[in-house]
Structure 1
Amino acid sequence: MDALLAEELLIIAGGLRVAEPSTGRAVVPGCCAGLEDWRDWAQALTGGSPWLGHDPGPEIQAVGEDLRVWQDGGPDRHHGRQVGLHIDLPRHALPQLLMGVQRDPVGFLDALAGWADRADLGRQGIALVRAIDYSFTITALWDLPEG
């Protein structure tokens, strides 16, 4: 545990997956994307596209009132043509979706704190919970722009 706590920042490969339950389609994070960057999705609310990894290179594009989440970089990668796997989600839905995403790691922190207490880890357990909370910006307050 000492080695883990000595790390400046913890990372977990992966990221957020966007799924369309009605069709079964999904856009998954590219390689080198990390779960620690999950809050960066809020950039899409102000016209940005967060880092979603590369190879295949997912990207977010504003299309009217929707956010088009491309699996492979969007239309510019295909000479301006609108081709390739993408999922559209209403921009106004993103803040609520991100708040939903936050619930899972908050629950994980609660479970981790309980485990650390049962394992009698004392200060190390508290430090572990704090390090994970810090690295993944789980409980920090945020003011999401309106979608």
Structure 2
Amino acid sequence: MLIVDAVLETVDTTGFSLWPVADLPPSRLLALSHRMSLPEIGAALAALAEYNSQASDDDSPVTDAGEQIRRLLEAEKVIAPGGLRIRRTDNDVTVSPGCCCGLEDWREWLDVLTGETPWLGHDPSPRIEHADKLIRLWADGGEEATKAPSARPIEIPVDDLVGILNSVRDAMRGFLSLTKQWAACHVPSLAVDLATKLDEDLAISAPLPSDYGQARACWCAAASSAKSGAPNVLRRA
């Protein structure tokens, strides 16, 4: 069975008191979905706030949830360390995003349909190999790897990729729905702005192609549009 999760790297929340957070170790990959508890939503938002809230020397310490979320909203673009974690349960292989990979770029997996390779991070450095109608994915062994790839790759039919990404999108929409609930409770005056910011910067709600054929047709149209300077709406919200 293939399981693909949108994951966010957690941070150390020891002593964090601005809102309730789940007791999770730092640097864990937290799967985002409708199945999260509200304390897990709190932990995810604490991570996003730490990564993106740029305080200056003149800023006073943050003492309430509203101020922390306002600083997050002021980020030019929300960065979400993480990405897509891919697990094959029948051979117990997991490929996790490497360091410096960002969940905000998850739609770059669509590039695989045209034979390209998305940035998957380093240390480890996941590796993708294109093989006819399959992609083979190793946990390590990419360009910046310090060791040879593992002997057991995960194989994914290219025709299945669009469906997989639509499932990822559904999970992220579930996370966004729970975030709206969380914000209505903890920062009601900022709830709409927070949901809109995360939706746009993490490219959550914009539609994806429904199948491989439509995806290829859309990419042909996107390539044509690129020549005229139009944006690629499939990859960014």
Consecutive aligned runs of 4 or more in structure 1 exceeding 3 Å deviation: 81-85
Query: Taking structure 1 as reference, are residues 82 and 129 closer, same or farther at Cα in structure 2, changes over 3 Å only?
Result: closer
CA contact (8 A) 2:96 2:139 kept: yes
CA contact (8 A) 1:61 1:74 kept: no
Who is 1:145 aligned against? 215
Q: CA deviation at 1:82?
A: 8.0
Q: Partner of 2:83: helix, strand, or coil?
A: coil
Who is 2:11 aligned against? none
Aligned length: 142
Q: Which entry has the higher C-alpha Rg, 1 or 2?
A: 2
CA contact (8 A) 1:59 1:72 kept: yes
Unpaired segments of 5 or more residues in structure 2? 1-68, 217-237
Unpaired segments of 5 or more residues in structure 1? none
CA RMSD of aligned residues (A): 2.4
Q: Does 1:20 align with 2:88?
A: yes
Q: Does 1:87 align with 2:157?
A: no
Who is 1:68 aligned against? 136
Return the letter of the residue paired with 1:31: C
Partner of residue 115 from structure 1, selected from 182, 187, 191: 182
For 1:3-46, what per-residue CA distance to the aligned partner results, in whole angstroms no more than 9, with x for missing partners? 11101111221111111110111111111111111111111111
CA contact (8 A) 1:17 1:27 kept: yes
Return the letter of the residue paired with 2:160: A
CA contact (8 A) 1:61 1:67 kept: yes
Q: Does 1:134 align with 2:191?
A: no
Q: Distance in 2 between matches of 1:43 and 1:64?
A: 15
Q: CA deviation at 1:71?
A: 2.1
Q: Percent sequence identity over matched residues?
A: 36
Higher RCO structure (Cα 8 Å, ≥6 apart): 1
Return the letter of the residue paired with 2:191: G
For 1:90-131, what per-residue CA distance to the aligned partner results, in whole angstroms no more than 9, with x for missing partners? 111110000001111101111111222344613x11110011
CA contact (8 A) 2:86 2:94 kept: yes
TM-score scaled by structure 1?
A: 0.85
